[in-house]
Amino acid sequence: MAALLARYAECIFWLARYMERAENLARILDVNETFARDSYGATNWVTIVRLNADEKRFFELYPTASAKNVLNFYILDQQNPTSIIAAVSSARENARQLRPLISTEMWAQINVFYNKLLAWGPNDIAPQNIQRQCAFIKEACQTHTGITEGTFFRDQGWYFYNLGRNLERADQTTRVLDIKYHTLLPSPRDVGTPVDISQWNSLLRSAAGYHAFRRVYPRGLTPAAVAGFLLFNDNFPRSVMVCMREVDSLLNRLNSKYRLRRGTLPLERSDELLGSLASQTIEAVIAGGLHEYLDRLQLSFSSLTSDIAQAFFHADQPATMTA
């Protein structure tokens, strides 16, 4: 069985994560265009800065949280490690390391995508153009996904790629949900109003989940139903449940098919996480605080990532016993 260099495994895992992240950042910005409007139609872009806990870094670079500044910070600012261009640049650097492994088409598409973003100026990300540009970024990321699906060799590397993609996607879904439920907590007078409903609509649409949601809940749209759908639905490709089921099965197959004996620890973690997702209900989650629940999920994704790194990317070092 062909061996996979540990460094390649790490790069391919992060390549997938950064591309998925870029797509989701574009989705969040796209949604925020709608969310940032209050019931009077005014926009408040500082919320998205707050959501990402980026206030300190942001205000060191920009005097005000104008639409123009916030969009520049999150799309084109190379100094901001959480910008789209930084994600695509990191994806490209990983792809550069991986060029011996990935298809030429995968590399060429990322290379062209990055150079295109690099050539964008302030006008390209002006608020009136933002939906079109976010659509472009989403589509470039999806093109990457398609090229990868169609050209990437299906051995170990493929498993690490999909581990990265699904972990990142699960993580990003919790973040999109958090925008609505945490920072933009509806004021009591807005609940159930047209503004509130339209924001939930937008949230679903940003995750390309509106129609899927309608198939499951044809007649109503409640905040709890939307949150439950994004977290626990068994069939929606961006739900945390579907992503984690995929992660668990990938880890399983790495253990059995490739006999990576050190993969046991991450597999145990992921089994545990999957078990707890399956036994949850959205009602219980909301009762205990949705934001707190999302926080805990994000922490468990992060420790699963460390376990994967420890087991596969640093396999030459002795395994340390982590809690």
Partner 1 sequence: MARRAWGALLSGSGNGVDHLLSTYNANGFYDELFGNAAKPASHSLSVQERLRQLDFDDLRRRASDAERELYNLGITFLVYSDAKAVDRILPFDVIPRIISAKEWAHLEAGVQQRIAALNLFLHDVYHDQKILKDGIIPAELVLGNANYREQMRGIDLPFNTYIHIMGVDLVRDHDGTFRVLEDNGRVPSGVSYVVENRHMMQRAFPDLMGDIGLRSVDNYGVKLLEAMCEIAPPRPEGVDGDPQVVLLSPGAYNSAYFEHIFLAREMGVPLVEGRDLIVENDKVYMKTTGGLRRVDSIYRRIGDDFLDPLAFNPDSMLGVPGIFEAYRKGNVALANAIGTGVADDKAVYAYVPRMIKYYLGEDAIIPNVETHICREPDALKFTLDNLDKLVVKPVGEAGGYGITIGPRASKAELEECRAKLLEDPANYISQPMVPLSVCPTLTEDGIEPRHVDLRPFAITARNTWVLPGGLTRVALKKGTLIVNSSQGGGSKDTWVLTEGPTEEPALESALVDPFQSQSQSQ
Positions touching partner 1 (CB under 8 A) are 2-9, 93, 96-97, 99-101, 104, 107-108, 111-112, 153, 155-157, 160, 258-262, 312-313, 315-316
Distance CA 216, CA 237 (A): 14
CB of 237 to partner 1, least distance (A): 27
Distance CA 273, CA 241 (A): 10
When the beta carbons of 114 and 200 are compared against partner 1, the nearer one is 114
Distance CA 166, CA 17 (A): 8
When the beta carbons of 93 and 295 are compared against partner 1, the nearer one is 93
CB of 153 to partner 1, least distance (A): 7
45 and 70 Cβ atoms separated by less than 8 Å: yes
When the beta carbons of 43 and 97 are compared against partner 1, the nearer one is 97
CB of 8 to partner 1, least distance (A): 7
When the beta carbons of 218 and 316 are compared against partner 1, the nearer one is 316
- The DSSP output letter for 43 is B
Residue 156: Cβ-neighbour burial (10 angstroms; 0-12, 13-18, 19+): buried
CB of 281 to partner 1, least distance (A): 37
Residue 180 has a CB neighbour count (10 Å cut-off) of 23
304 and 273 Cβ atoms separated by less than 8 Å: yes
244 and 170 Cβ atoms separated by less than 8 Å: yes
CB of 71 to partner 1, least distance (A): 24
When the beta carbons of 6 and 195 are compared against partner 1, the nearer one is 6
270 and 304 Cβ atoms separated by less than 8 Å: yes
